[in-house]
Structure 1
Amino acid sequence: MLQSVFIPNKNNSYAWMNLIVLIVLLFLGKIEPYAVLFGYFLETIIIGLFNAIKMYVASRHDGSGKSVMFFIPFFLFHYGAFVAIQSIFVFVIFGIGDYGFFKEPFYLIENYKTILHFKGMEYILPLMVGTQLMKFIFDFILPQKQLQFTVQEIMYKPYARIFIQQFTVILAMFFMMFTSVTYIAALLLIFFRAIVDFSLVSIKDNAQFLNYLVDKLYDGKTSKEELKKQLLLFSE
Structure 2
Amino acid sequence: MPTPASRAEVDGLGAAEIAEQMRAETPAGVDAEKFIGAVVARLPEAADLAPAEKPVSAWVLVAANLLPLCGVLFWNWEVFPLLALFWMENAIIGVLNATRMLAIDPGNAALWAGKLFMVPFFCFHYGMFTTIHGLFVFSMFGKYPVDGLYVLAPAARAVADWNLWLPLGALAASHAFSFFWNFVHRGEYRRAGLQEQMMKPYGRVVVLHLAILLGGAAAMALGSPLWALLALLGVKIAVDLTAHLKEHRS
Larger of the two Rg values belongs to structure: 2
Q: Percent identity?
A: 21
Tell me the residue number matched to 1:55. Answer: 101
**Which structure 2 segments of 5+ residues have no match?**
1-52
CA contact 1:38–1:115 (8 Å) conserved in 2: yes
What does the per-residue CA deviation read over 1:185-222, in whole Å, with 9 as the maximum and x for residues that have no partner? 3322221122123323443566xxxxxxxxxxxxxxxx
Counting only pairs closer than 5 Å after superposition, residues 217-236 of structure 1 correspond to structure 2 as: none
- 1:102 matched to 2:148? The reply is no
Give the SS at the match of 1:64: helix
> Relative to structure 1, is the Cα distance of residues 113 and 11 closer, same or farther in structure 2, using a 3 angstrom cutoff?
closer
Query: Which one-letter code corresponds to 1:116 in the other structure?
Result: V
Question: Separation in 1 of the partners of 2:93 and 2:248?
Answer: 20
Tell me the residue number matched to 2:117. Answer: 70
Query: Which one-letter code corresponds to 1:29 in the other structure?
Result: W
- 1:164 matched to 2:207? The reply is yes
Question: Separation in 1 of the partners of 2:189 and 2:166?
Answer: 31
- 1:199 matched to 2:242? The reply is yes
What does the per-residue CA deviation read over 1:9-36, in whole Å, with 9 as the maximum and x for residues that have no partner? 7352113302433323432227554222
CA contact 2:83–2:137 (8 Å) conserved in 1: no
**Deviation beyond 6 Å, 4+ runs, structure 1:** none
Tell me the residue number matched to 1:225. Answer: none
Question: Separation in 2 of the partners of 1:131 and 1:31?
Answer: 22
Give the SS at the match of 2:223: coil
CA contact 2:101–2:197 (8 Å) conserved in 1: yes
Tell me the residue number matched to 2:135. Answer: 88
Q: Scaled by the length of structure 1, what TM-score is found?
A: 0.72
Tell me the residue number matched to 1:220. Answer: none
CA contact 1:32–1:118 (8 Å) conserved in 2: no
Question: Separation in 2 of the partners of 1:135 and 1:179?
Answer: 36
> Relative to structure 1, is the Cα distance of residues 83 and 15 closer, same or farther in structure 2, using a 3 angstrom cutoff?
same
Query: Which one-letter code corresponds to 2:111 in the other structure?
Result: S
Q: How many residues align?
A: 196
- 1:118 matched to 2:161? The reply is yes
Tell me the residue number matched to 2:184. Answer: 141
Give the SS at the match of 1:166: helix
Question: Separation in 2 of the partners of 1:202 and 1:156?
Answer: 16
CA contact 1:32–1:119 (8 Å) conserved in 2: no
Question: Separation in 2 of the partners of 1:37 and 1:182?
Answer: 15
Q: Scaled by the length of structure 2, what TM-score is found?
A: 0.68
Question: Separation in 2 of the partners of 1:53 and 1:9?
Answer: 20
